[in-house]
Structures are given as structure tokens and as C-alpha cells.
Amino acid sequence: MATTRKASAHWEGSLMEGKGRVSFDSSHLGEYDVTWAARSAEPNGVTSPEELIGAAHSTCYSMALSHALAQNGTPPTTVDTSAEVDFQPGTGITAIRLSVRAAVPGLTEDQFVDFATAAKEGCPVSQALKAVPITLSTEFLA
């Protein structure tokens, strides 16, 4: 069964001087401030679309990897993923770097790298972001 999740944004003012708030409407987790400065310079306690994309991507990737490993009969003990999303004003999002560190009993490091790579390709958020170069670094904890 398909699901739909909703988020929304409210913006006031011009791009450079304005400000906005993003809201997680489906989960009711709250609202978070966004500004151009947080996107193009320093966050200073304010989020950006790229940080939100990084949160979505790292979560989706962790779930995809965890599922694949469990389907293999080697469920992970832990999976920690980070996503760095590069934004170039005037160009857009130019790169995403995923980094995963996982403890997976019963696998070799080479097997883990194979699963990690397949998860990067198969993760639904990776699929949605195919226009951007996505790299992956792995750290295997036996």
C-alpha cells in the first residue's frame, strides 16, 4: 500500500533577506527555521533544504541496508550513516557523500561492501536523487 507524507514551507521576504519555516505536517514533529544564509554560508542554528535532504537520504539508506542484510540472514547490530550534501549557489546540489559504519556479524568486509553498494543504488531516496553524483564510503565492524 502506498503512503503519502507531507511537509510544507512558509517563506517571507526576498531570497537573500527573507526567512522561512519548514513544517513536518504528517508527523507533527515541529517547525524549523530556514534561511538563504543557512543554505549558502553558515547554519547558525537554522536548517536548509540540503540538510533536510541529507537527513532523508541517510535514513533511507540505513533502512535499505538494514533490510537487505536481514533478508540475507545477517541482520546488522548497528548501522550509522551520514550524508553530506554540497550546494553551490547558482548551480544547485552538486554532490552527495554517504558514509556508513556498520557492525554485521557473519559477513566479511568484502560482502559488507557489496551490500552497502547495492543499498546505495536501491535506496528510494538515492533513486530520486540520481541526477546528483552520490559516493559511498564504508567502515565495517565485524
Q: pTM for the whole thing?
A: 0.95
pLDDT by residue for the chain (142 residues), tens only, comes to 999 999 999 999 999 999 999 999 999 999 999 999 999 999 999 999 999 999 999 999 999 999 999 999 999 999 999 999 999 999 999 999 999 999 999 999 999 999 999 999 999 999 999 999 999 999 999 7
8 Å CB contact between 54 and 93: no
Q: How far apart are CA 103 and CA 13, in angstroms?
A: 47
Where does the chain hold its CATH 3.30.300.20 domain(s)? 49-141
Which value, to the nearest 10 degrees, does the dihedral of the CA atoms of residues 112, 65, 138, 51 take? 180
Please report, for the chain, how many H helices and E strands are present, in that order. Answer: 4, 6
**49-141 has which CATH code?**
3.30.300.20
Sign of CA pseudo-dihedral 133, 131, 25, 89: positive
User: What's at 48, amino acid-wise?
Assistant: S
